[in-house]
């Protein structure tokens, strides 16, 4: 037992010296402050900056010396605006699951080892790939938009910031439709309501005039009354109608009819003096 204990103590220090210290080696790996270590993390950070319209932050995802050169920083911010405009006007990015999350990137494509395709934009009617390039910066690997894609962005025709502000209302959608379309529908609804209101007013006005016209026609029909045998003080005489026609109808007190019947001898007239 004493022999085995002495052997264990003799081997333990040598074995302890062969075991590496993982904490010391891990602390030596630098970390990129913008999360550009893989193609997936680079696109995630770039899209977040564009969504917030933080173009100064988005400039750090382009392969330009933005940390030390203010002119390069402004140029990279302009490239970020152009990229966002082209993506909004028909461009596309590789789905999140299709982006490589490894530092070396995808090794099974037809691109160079330091290039990664992450999307497509249309410039002057031609599709162009959106690339990322891998470089070593300050001792760690970063993926950024390379010069090839920036050349395409430089010649692209995109709306200016002022034009985008004036056309911002067209980009706003309500219930899946642009605001302009809703305004047109609202205008048509107002016109339809106004037309129906005018039509109903005309119909009601016509209906209100019809009873009055009928009443006037009824009032205007003359009423024939039989001749009275009572004295007419205004004329000073009494008109007596006697006799009947062959049909048995009593004739109306019409002067022309009286004259005809007097000539035929079917009626006789007597004039009585009033005084």
The answer to whether residue 118 scores a pLDDT higher than 80 is yes
Residue 6 counted as domain residue: no
> Would you state the pLDDT for residue 195?
84
Instruction: For residue 175, name the pLDDT band (cuts at 50, 70, 90).
Output: low
Domain assignment of residue 9, yes or no:
no
| C-alpha dist (Å) from residue 102 to 63, 116, 153 | 19, 11, 27
Highest mean pLDDT among 25-39, 96-110, 238-252: 96-110
**Rounded to whole angstroms, how far apart are CA atoms 275 and 272?**
9
What is the arithmetic mean of pLDDT over 183-208?
83
CA-CA distances (angstroms) from residue 142 to 89, 94, 136, 151, 223? 28, 19, 6, 20, 112
pLDDT at 244 exceeding the cut of 80: no
Query: How many Cα atoms sit within 13 Å of 105 on the Cβ side?
Result: 23
Rg (CA), the chain: 54
pLDDT at 64 over 70: yes
Can you give the residue range of the structural domain that contains 265?
234-241+251-275
Residue holding tokens 């037992």?
1
Largest Cα–Cα distance of the chain, in whole Å?
184
Q: Is residue 209 part of a domain?
A: yes
Question: What are residue 214's phi and psi, to 5 degrees?
Answer: -65, -40
Is pLDDT above 80 for 151?
yes
Is the pLDDT at 117 greater than 70? The verdict is yes
> Are 182 and 117 in a shared domain?
no
Query: Are 181 and 149 in the same domain?
Result: no
242 and 268 Cβ atoms separated by less than 8 Å? yes
Structural domain contains residue 98? yes
Q: Is residue 246 part of a domain?
A: no
What is the per-residue pLDDT for 19? 46
Q: Looking at the structure, do residues 184 and 212 belong to the same domain, yes or no?
A: yes
CB 62 within 8 A of CB 146: no
Shared domain for 45 and 143, answered yes or no, is yes
pLDDT value at residue 202: 84
Residue 268 in tokens:
């006789």
- Chain-centroid distance, C-alpha 187: 14
Asked whether residue 147 is domain-assigned, the answer is: yes
Same structural domain for residues 95 and 210?
no
- As a whole number of angstroms, the distance between CA 108 and CA 104 comes to 11
| The pLDDT value given to residue 193 | 82
47 and 109, same domain (yes or no): yes
Tally of domains within the chain: 3
Q: What is the pLDDT of residue 169?
A: 47
Q: Are residues 73 and 38 in the same domain?
A: yes
Same domain as 36, residue 153: yes
Residue 142 has pLDDT above 90, yes or no: yes
Neighbours of 18 (CB within 10 A): 6
The answer, yes or no, to whether residue 130 has pLDDT greater than 70, is yes
Burial classification of residue 42, based on how many CB atoms lie within 10 Å of its CB (0-12 exposed, 13-18 middle, 19 or more buried): buried
Give the E-state strand segments of the chain in sequence order. 92-93, 115-123, 126-137, 140-144, 173-174, 177-178
User: Measured between alpha carbons, how far apart are the two ends of the chain, in Å?
Assistant: 182
- Asked if residue 10 belongs to a domain, the reply is no
Query: Mean pLDDT across the stretch 239-243?
Result: 45
The answer to whether residues 97 and 212 belong to one domain is: no
| CB-CB neighbours of 6 under 10 Å | 10
* 147 and 181 in a common domain: no
Regarding whether 142 and 100 lie in a shared domain, the answer is: yes
Q: Is residue 112 part of a domain?
A: yes
Q: Is there a single domain that holds both residue 157 and residue 182?
A: no
Please determine, for residue 174, whether its predicted confidence score (pLDDT) is greater than 80.
no
What is the rounded average pLDDT for all residues in the chain? Answer: 74
pTM: 0.52
Note whether 93 and 43 are within 8 A (CB).
yes
Distance from C-alpha of 34 to C-alpha of 37, rounded to nearest angstrom:
9
Confidence class for position 181, pLDDT limits 50, 70, 90: confident
- Among 44-53, 206-215, 265-274, the least confident range: 265-274
């Amino acid at each position: 037992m004493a022999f085995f204990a002495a052997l264990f103590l003799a081997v333990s220090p040598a074995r302890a010296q062969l075991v590496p210290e993982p904490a010391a080696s891990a602390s030596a790996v630098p970390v990129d402050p913008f999360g550009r270590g893989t193609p997936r993390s680079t696109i995630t950070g770039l899209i977040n900056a564009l969504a917030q319209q933080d173009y100064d932050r988005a400039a750090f995802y382009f392969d330009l010396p933005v940390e030390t050169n203010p002119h390069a920083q402004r140029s990279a911010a302009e490239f970020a605006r152009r990229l966002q405009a082209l993506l909004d006007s028909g461009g596309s990015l590789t789905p999140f699951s299709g982006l490589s999350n490894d530092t070396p990137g995808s090794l099974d494509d037809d691109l160079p080892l330091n290039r990664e395709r992450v999307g497509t934009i249309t410039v002057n009617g031609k599709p162009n790939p959106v690339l990322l390039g891998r470089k070593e910066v300050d001792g760690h690997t970063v993926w950024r938009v390379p010069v090839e894609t920036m050349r395409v962005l430089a010649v692209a025709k995109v709306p200016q910031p002022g034009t985008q502000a004036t056309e911002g209302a067209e980009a706003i959608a309500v219930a899946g439709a642009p605001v302009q379309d809703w305004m047109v529908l609202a205008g048509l609804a107002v016109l339809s309501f106004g037309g129906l209101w005018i039509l109903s007013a005309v119909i009601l006005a016509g209906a209100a005039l019809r009873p009055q016209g009928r009443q006037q026609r009824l009032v205007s029909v003359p009423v024939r009354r039989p001749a009275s045998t009572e004295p007419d003080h205004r004329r000073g005489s009494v008109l007596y109608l006697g006799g009947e026609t062959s049909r048995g109808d009593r004739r109306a007190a019409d002067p022309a009819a009286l004259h005809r019947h007097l000539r035929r001898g079917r009626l006789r007239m007597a004039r009585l003096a009033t005084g």
